[in-house]
C-alpha cells in the first residue's frame, strides 16, 4: 500500500494505579489497520499466557478503525477485544451507534484498559483528554440510567456512554456492553471483564472532525455507497430489521426451535419482523451517517411495559428468546430484550441458557424447587422474562445459568452436556448448521466460539450476482445447494472469513457491505479517499487473513487445538422433521471439511495451528518467536 499515516493515538488506562497515558501506536496500525487486527497484535504482545480473564492482568481494548467516523453508510462500528471469561480463549465483540465515531473525533483510535480499581469508576474522554471519576453512585444502576446520569454530570447530552448494568457487575460470563441504551457489544462476556475491573462506563465526546484525505472524492462516493447498501439487503433491513428474515428461515426449515430439536416453529408468524412492524414498532434507530436504519424501537403497554429507549428485538433475539424456547409472545420477547439491555447481558447466550434450562426441566433434571417456583415449560414467555432477572442478578438457578451452558451442564450433569449448545464455551447463534454447512464449519473453527458473523452465510454464494473474482470468489465456487459439503464451499468460507476479518479491522458494518450491499470496489475507493492509502482488494484481504492467524495463534498458546473445533452433538444429528428432515452434519463430514479448511489456511492438520511457513508468509515473525519460546511450533 502507498501510505502517509497520521499518528495513531492509543489511550492506556491502568485502573490499579488510577493512571492514564497516551502512546503513538502507528507501528501497529500501519500493518493491521485497526479493530481486531491491531488489538490482536497488542494482546499478543502484552497479555500474559494463562491470564485470568476476570483478573486484573487481563486487558480490555475498545478499538475503532481507519474508516470509523467518516460519515458514510456503515462507518459507525467499534470493536471490544479481550480474553473471554466465557471460553478462556480469544474474545471479540462489535457494536454500532455513536461511541466509535465519538472516540475517533476525540482523537483516539483505541482505549486499552488494564488493572482493577478498588472502587467503581468511570472514564470520561473528551477531545484528547481523559479523566477517571467516581462511579460508586452508579454501581447497581441500569445502563440507560448510567447514560442519563453521566450526561447530566458532564453537562453534555450528546455524550456517548458505553456501560454495564448489574449483569456485568455480577460477572455473568456472557455479560455485554451497552452503549446509548440499546447498541450492544454482545458476545464473549466483554461486559464481565469490564465488571471485574470495576469500570462502570466509558463516556466519550469529541468535537473534532475525522480527517478525510480527499474530501471531494469522498463526497462523490456517499450517494453511491448509500444506493448500493439499500439496493442489497438494505431495503428489507429498513422495513423490517434483521427479524425480517425469520419467516423465510422458518419456511426453509432453518429456524432454530426447541433448543435445535426442531427447525420450524408454528408460532413463527407471530414473532417476525413484519409482525413487529405492524404492531409494537414505534420508530427506527440508526448509526450516524447510515441510510439503512435497521434498529427497531418498540413500545409495549399492558401486561408488560417496554421502554422504547431500550430499542427493540432483532432477529437473534426474536429467535433466541422466541422460537428456541417455543415462545410466540412478541411482547414477552420485547420485554426480555429490554431487560437484557438494561442488565447488559447477551440475548443469544441468555436465550440458549434458558432453552437449556427448559430442557432440563422437561427431562426432570430441574424441578420447581430448583427454579424458585418458575414453571419452565416450553413456550412460557413469562418464565423467560423471570429467568432473565434471575440470571442477571445471579439468584438461585440463575447463578448456575449465568456461568454459560458449558459450565451449567458440568454442574447439573446427568447427560445434560448433550443439549448444552456451545462451541468452545460460547453459545450457538440462531442459524441452523445442518441447513447452512458453511456456517457450521465457521462455528466449529471460530476462535471466539460459535459466531454467525465470522463468515457470509451459504445463501450469499448461490447467486452469480454476488461473485467477487477480485478476491477469489468466482463462478467455480457457486455451490449446487446450501447444504452441500464440498471443497468449493470450504474455500468460499475461508475467503469470506478473510473478508470479514478485513471488515472487522476497518471497522465497518457487515450488514451494509458486500455481498449484501456496498461493493468491494466502492469500499476500496472509500478507503483511499478517507486514508489516502492506495491498496488493492487482495492487499487489504491479507489484513483479514493476518487477523485470523493471529487469533488462532492466541488460542494455540492458551491450549486450544483441533479437538476444540467441534460442533455440539445435537446439531450433528439428523433433523427429524421439516423441509430438511434427515439432514445432519455427520462428524466424519466435519472432519473432512476441517482437513480442507486447514489446508487452505496453511495450518497444521493435526493440531489446527498456523504453520511456521504460513506465519512467515504473512509477516508474523513475532508470532513465530512467541510460539517457539513456548515450544508450540
44: confidence class by pLDDT, cuts 50, 70, 90: confident
Question: pLDDT digits over 279-337, tens only?
Answer: 999 999 999 999 999 899 999 998 899 999 999 999 999 999 999 999 999 999 999 99
Question: pLDDT digits over 153-197, tens only?
Answer: 999 999 999 999 999 999 999 999 999 999 999 999 999 999 999
Residue 7: the pLDDT is 52
Nearest-CA neighbor of 276 among 301, 258, 299, 259?
A: 299
The CA distances from residue 566 to 263, 271, 368, 553, in Å, are 21, 31, 34, 18
Residue 85 contacts residue 53 (beta carbons within 8 Å): yes
Question: pLDDT digits over 251-292, tens only?
Answer: 999 999 999 999 999 999 999 999 999 999 999 999 999 999
Model confidence, pTM = 0.96
Residues near 83 by beta carbon (within 8 Å), at least 6 away in sequence: 43, 47, 51, 53, 58, 59, 89, 90, 91, 193, 558
pLDDT at 482 over 80: no
390: confidence class by pLDDT, cuts 50, 70, 90: very high
Which DSSP category does 461 fall into?
Answer: G
Residues near 448 by beta carbon (within 8 Å), at least 6 away in sequence: 84, 87, 89, 90, 91, 92, 187, 188, 424, 426, 551
Residue 43 contacts residue 50 (beta carbons within 8 Å): no
Percent of the chain with pLDDT over 90: 85
The chain-wide mean pLDDT, for the chain, equals 94
Residue 8: the pLDDT is 78
- Name the residue with higher pLDDT: 515 or 612: 612
3: confidence class by pLDDT, cuts 50, 70, 90: very low
Mean pLDDT lowest among 5-14, 180-189, 243-252, 367-376: 5-14
Residue at grid coordinates 440510567: 145
Mean pLDDT lowest among 9-13, 203-207, 312-316, 482-486: 482-486
**392: number of Cβ within 10 Å:** 25
5: confidence class by pLDDT, cuts 50, 70, 90: very low
Question: pLDDT digits over 78-125, tens only?
Answer: 999 999 999 999 999 999 999 999 999 999 999 999 999 999 999 999
Q: Cell numbers at residue 178, please?
A: 451497552
Amino acid at each position: 500500500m502507498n501510505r502517509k499515516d497520521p499518528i495513531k493515538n492509543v489511550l492506556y488506562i491502568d485502573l490499579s494505579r488510577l493512571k492514564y497515558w497516551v502512546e503513538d501506536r502507528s507501528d501497529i496500525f500501519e500493518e493491521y489497520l485497526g479493530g481486531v487486527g491491531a488489538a490482536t497484535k497488542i494482546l499478543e504482545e502484552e497479555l500474559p499466557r494463562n491470564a485470568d480473564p476476570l483478573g486484573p492482568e487481563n486487558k480490555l481494548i475498545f478499538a475503532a478503525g481507519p474508516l470509523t467516523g467518516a460519515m458514510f453508510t456503515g462507518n459507525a462500528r467499534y470493536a471490544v477485544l479481550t480474553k473471554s471469561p466465557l471460553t478462556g480463549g480469544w474474545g471479540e465483540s462489535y457494536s454500532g451507534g455513536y461511541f466509535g465515531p465519538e472516540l475517533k473525533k476525540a482523537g483516539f483510535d483505541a482505549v486499552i484498559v488494564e488493572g482493577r480499581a478498588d472502587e467503581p469508576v468511570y472514564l470520561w474522554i473528551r477531545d484528547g483528554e481523559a479523566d477517571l471519576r467516581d462511579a460508586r453512585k452508579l454501581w447497581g444502576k441500569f445502563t440507560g440510567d448510567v447514560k442519563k446520569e453521566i450526561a447530566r454530570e458532564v453537562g453534555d447530552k450528546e455524550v456517548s456512554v458505553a456501560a454495564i448494568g448489574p449483569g456485568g457487575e455480577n460477572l455473568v460470563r456472557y455479560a455485554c456492553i451497552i452503549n446509548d441504551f440499546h447498541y450492544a457489544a454482545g458476545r464473549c462476556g466483554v461486559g464481565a471483564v469490564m465488571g471485574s475491573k470495576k469500570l462502570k462506563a466509558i463516556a466519550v465526546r469529541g468535537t473534532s472532525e475525522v480527517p478525510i484525505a480527499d474530501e471531494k472524492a469522498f463526497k462523490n462516493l456517499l450517494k453511491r455507497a448509500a444506493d448500493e447498501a439499500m439496493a442489497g439487503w438494505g431495503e428489507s433491513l429498513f422495513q423490517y430489521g434483521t427479524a425480517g428474515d425469520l419467516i423465510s428461515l422458518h419456511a426453509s426449515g432453518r429456524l432454530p426451535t426447541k433448543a435445535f430439536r426442531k427447525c420450524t416453529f408454528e408460532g413463527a408468524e407471530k414473532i417476525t419482523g413484519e409482525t413487529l412492524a405492524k404492531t409494537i414498532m414505534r420508530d427506527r434507530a440508526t448509526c450516524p451517517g447510515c441510510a439503512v436504519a435497521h434498529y427497531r424501537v418498540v413500545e409495549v403497554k399492558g401486561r408488560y411495559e417496554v421502554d422504547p429507549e431500550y430499542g427493540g428485538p432483532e432477529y437473534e433475539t426474536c429467535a433466541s428468546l422466541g422460537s428456541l424456547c417455543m415462545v410466540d409472545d412478541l411482547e414477552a420477547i420485547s420485554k426480555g430484550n429490554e431487560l437484557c439491555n438494561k442488565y447488559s447481558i447477551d440475548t443469544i447466550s441468555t436465550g440458549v441458557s434458558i432453552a437449556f434450562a427448559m430442557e432440563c426441566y422437561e427431562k426432570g433434571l430441574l424441578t420447581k424447587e430448583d427454579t424458585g417456583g418458575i414453571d419452565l415449560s416450553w413456550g412460557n414467555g413469562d418464565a423467560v422474562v423471570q429467568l432473565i432477572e434471575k440470571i442477571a442478578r445471579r439468584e438461585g438457578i440463575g447463578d448456575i445459568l449465568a456461568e454459560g451452558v458449558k459450565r451449567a451442564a458440568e454442574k447439573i450433569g446427568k447427560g445434560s452436556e448433550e443439549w448444552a449448545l456451545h462451541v468452545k464455551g460460547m453459545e450457538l447463534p440462531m442459524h441452523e448448521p445442518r441447513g447452512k454447512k458453511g456456517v457450521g464449519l465457521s462455528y466449529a473453527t471460530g476462535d471466539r466460539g460459535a459466531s454467525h458473523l465470522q463468515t457470509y452465510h451459504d445463501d450469499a454464494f448461490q447467486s452469480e450476482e454476488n461473485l467477487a473474482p477480485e478476491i477469489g470468489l468466482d463462478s467455480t465456487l457457486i455451490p449446487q445447494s446450501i447444504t452441500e459439503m464440498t471443497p468449493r464451499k470450504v474455500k468460499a468460507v475461508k475467503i469470506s472469513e478473510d473478508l470479514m476479518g478485513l471488515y472487522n479491522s476497518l471497522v465497518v458494518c457487515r450488514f451494509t457491505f458486500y455481498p449484501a450491499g456496498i461493493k468491494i470496489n466502492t469500499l476500496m475507493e472509500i478507503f483511499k479517499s478517507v486514508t489516502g492509502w492506495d491498496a488493492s482488494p487482495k492487499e487489504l484481504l491479507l489484513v483479514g487473513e493476518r487477523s485470523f492467524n493471529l487469533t488462532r495463534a492466541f488460542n494455540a498458546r492458551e491450549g486450544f487445538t483441533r479437538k476444540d473445533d467441534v460442533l455440539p452433538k445435537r446439531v450433528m444429528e439428523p433433523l427429524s422433521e421439516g423441509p430438511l428432515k434427515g439432514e445432519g452434519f455427520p462428524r466424519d463430514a466435519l472432519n473432512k471439511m476441517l482437513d480442507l479448511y486447514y489446508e487452505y489456511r496453511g495450518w497444521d492438520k493435526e493440531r489446527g495451528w498456523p504453520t511456521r511457513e504460513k506465519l512467515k508468509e504473512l509477516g508474523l515473525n513475532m508470532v513465530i518467536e512467541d510460539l517457539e519460546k513456548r515450544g508450540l511450533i
